[in-house]
Chains A and B, each alone.
Chain A
Amino acid sequence: MSEVPGDLRYTKSHEWVRTLPDGSVEIGITDHAQSALGDLVFVEVPQTGRLVAAGDACAVVESVKAASDVYSPLGGTVLAGNESLATQPELINQDPYGQGWILRLKPTDAGGSAELQDAAAYAAEVAGD
């Protein structure tokens, strides 16, 4: 059974969003997603300063099995990509909600993440897969 932390918001495409105290957000892929992908071998993170719209492909995660786009759950400006993933893509497998974060974003709409699924809804969706 995959882990779904209660304090995060989720998308149907298996990204998670954490709102940080300063109003910026951290984005990654869920435990369910990393497990389905298998061992990650390459991760491409977005450039700092890039503008992304909600639903844009903003990163690529490539595993032994397949390459997948990561879709930005929110629109905003990229504050940082997780540079550690360039040499340690396996951080996403080992710690998908922590050291395996993919990007940080300054959202255009501060309240946007409230419209995403909560943990209960996402857990139910994953259980139905």
Chain B
Amino acid sequence: MRRTALYDQHVAAGARLVDFGGWDMPVNYGSQIEEHHAVRRDAGMFDVSHMCAIDLRGAGTRVLLARLLANDIGRLTVPGKALYSCMLRADGGVIDDLIVYFLDEHWFRLVVNAGTAEKDIAWIREQARPAGVSLTPRRDLAMVAVQGPQARTKVLPLLPPACQAGASGLGIFFGTPCGEWFVARTGYTGEDGFEIMLPAGEAMAFWNALQSAGVRPCGLGARDTLRLEAGMNLYGNDMDEGVSPLESGLAWTVVLDGDRDFIGKAALIAERSTGPARKLVGLLLLERGVLRSHQRVVADGADSGEVTSGTFSPTLERSIGFARVPVATRDSVHVDIRGRLMPARVVKPPFVRNGKIMVEL
């Protein structure tokens, strides 16, 4: 099992560790729910060093990314700006979802999921070689996400002096390199905050300083409930190589109009012309119980879909989830929870954004 540069910190803090994509990662440090609330109300930090940063360099990088990504890299016109996108197979299946940062015309940085990193790197290399683009996985970097309404205030004084001015002026969904560090105003929780990449050897001191400043260590358990409340997909649960982004609630990240050709475009245009058969929706469970992945969703008396992600929402104190259902599904369904059909309402995510409940309970 692989360990991040912060593994000893997690063990010393009493973390419960789990295998996540081949990495030994903290799922919680005692109470997942308290960690969740810390992020919604104050500030929490996550070791996300298992995710992989990949630097792409060379004159052909933008052209390569235009072909590789379903979202339009042409939207990145200002250095530092980030873009969320799927990377697709020719048949429209999702290889991975990622964030790409535009740093300069010869340098873009991708951040991809842990469990898919090796597959992604092989795929990108295959496309990059003829384009004359060099690819460097940055396993020398640790990654820490600090999230919550107080996150930026608590992080800024702890950054290297060279990073502080740039980081304090960052707009939402922008990042800035400073020396070997990289600070971005991005995240996966629905709260403001930073995602920080830094040399692995400096991670321990930075983590300890954050903890001294009152930033609570949070595990992947809280990260999952936070991202679900925020209406954000998880690769492997909510989409994978077997489904298209159009059936995964990600049509907003796909640019089909215009001349730009990208891998998977033809398949998505064909799918759009007939209309996708299914859609990904948010669910709010109306009774006691917890939605979980793979539970059967029933509408109009027929089996009609499946829960892709489900959890107990600490903010709503109700169970929420995502489900893939036929496009005709209206606003109420039943979910088979341990043999009982429980009523749930179809809602439009996000459930929570910036600490506020966004759905009617």
Contact = CB atoms under 8 A, between A and B. Distances in A.
B31 A39 contact: yes
A66 B311 CA distance: 9
SS of B interface (majority): mixed
Given A64-B32, A64-B225, A65-B221, A41 B16 contact: no
Given A38-B221, A42-B289, A62-B290, A67 B338 contact: yes
B33 A39 contact: yes
Nearest to B225: A64
A35 interface: yes
Interface residues of A, number: 13
A39 B32 contact: yes
B221 A62 contact: no
Nearest to A44: B288
Nearest to B319: A41
B290 A67 contact: yes
Contacts of A64: 32-33, 221, 225, 311-312
A42 B31 contact: no
Contacts of B225: 64
Contacts of B221: 38, 64-65
Interface residues of B, number: 15
Contacts of B31: 39, 93
A38 B29 CA distance: 10
Nearest to A41: B312
Contacts of A66: 292
Nearest to A38: B32
B312 A35 contact: no
Contacts of B312: 41-42, 62, 64
A1 to B, nearest CB: 11
Interface in A64-121: 64-67, 93
B28 interface: yes
Interface in B299-318: 311-312
Contacts of B289: 42, 62
A35 B288 contact: no
Given A39-B28, A41-B33, 12 more contacts: A38-B27, A38-B28, A39-B33, A42-B289, A42-B290, A42-B312, A60-B338, A64-B221, A64-B225, A64-B311, A64-B312, A67-B338
27 contacts: A35-B16, A38-B16, A38-B27, A38-B32, A38-B221, A39-B28, A39-B31, A39-B33, A41-B33, A41-B312, A42-B288, A42-B289, A42-B290, A42-B312, A44-B288, A60-B338, A62-B312, A64-B32, A64-B33, A64-B221, A64-B225, A64-B311, A65-B27, A65-B221, A66-B292, A67-B292, A67-B338
Interface of A: 35, 38-39, 41-42, 44, 60, 62, 64-67, 93
Which 6 pairs of residues, A with B, have the shortest CB-CB distance?
Answer: A41-B312, A39-B33, A64-B32, A39-B32, A62-B290, A42-B288
